[in-house]
Amino acid sequence: MTMPVGGAADEQGIFTPQRFKDQVVIVTGAAQGIGFAVAQRIAREDGTVVMVDRAELVHDKAKELAGTGAGEVYSTTADLETFAGAQSAVDFALEKAGSVDVLINNVGGTIWAKPYEHYTPEEIEKEINRSLFPTLWMCRAVLPALIGNSSKEDSRSEQGVIVNVSSTATGGINRVPYAAAKGGVNAIVSALAHEAAHHNVRVVAAAPGGTLAPARAVQRGPLPDDEQEKAWYQQIVDQTVDSSLMKRYGTLDEQTAPICFLASKEASYITGSVLPVSGGDQG
């Protein structure tokens, strides 16, 4: 989960120039938070970035990144809770950039924070739609493009990477539907890695813990509006910190670095793995 903080996002100070040179990277949920920070790092490391979000804000954020590296920066809006939306995002990337090398699935996030018995059926469905289906649909939409990167001369040649952003909230409280969705994301990694390996496509995930981020410009859902809801949310915060061996939230930079590592060729022998990035909390 992300904790809002005042001011701008972390100033990312550690980069690997040209790490994503000549690569096209789709980043979903790219208008703010971890998604924007990932897009920013990849742009600065010379990748061509396709920023996808359902908020129009993504176009302004793309303008911020234009010219920061050797690659281009594109942006498009799409509803990734539908397959049609996911396919439109991939088609846009192929039209603008000509190919796709990496997909980073960042869409998701808790909408409500409360004990499971207080969720309505409609709220449960919305949580699953928000935090599972965008990853499920984007994986399906992008696979043909990744498989089609047919550099078969070297049997070890990597043709594509999918990095899913999961969560250690699979072991958390007051977020059962969200935890179920992120558990599904982890299952996608395990199962799809088996299928995709013979195409030289890697499938991995980072599982962030609590993360400090600027206040969201576009909210996921209603903010707590009474004392009980505030108390339930505070229980999540307390449990997140307590479960971390480092007893704190992480920074945006501490989340983006491992995501970008997993997306890069430096991680070429890692697939089917979910990496907890949560100060020691295994989820």
Active site members: 178
**CA distance linking residue 73 with residue 195, whole number of Å:** 31
User: Do the beta carbons of residue 34 and residue 259 sit within 8 Å?
Assistant: yes
Quote the tokens at residue 283: 């989820």
Whole-angstrom distance, CA of residue 20 vs CA of residue 2: 27
Rounded CA-CA distance 280/240 in Å is 11
177 contact partners, CB below 8 Å, separation of at least 6: 116, 119, 123, 124, 127, 128
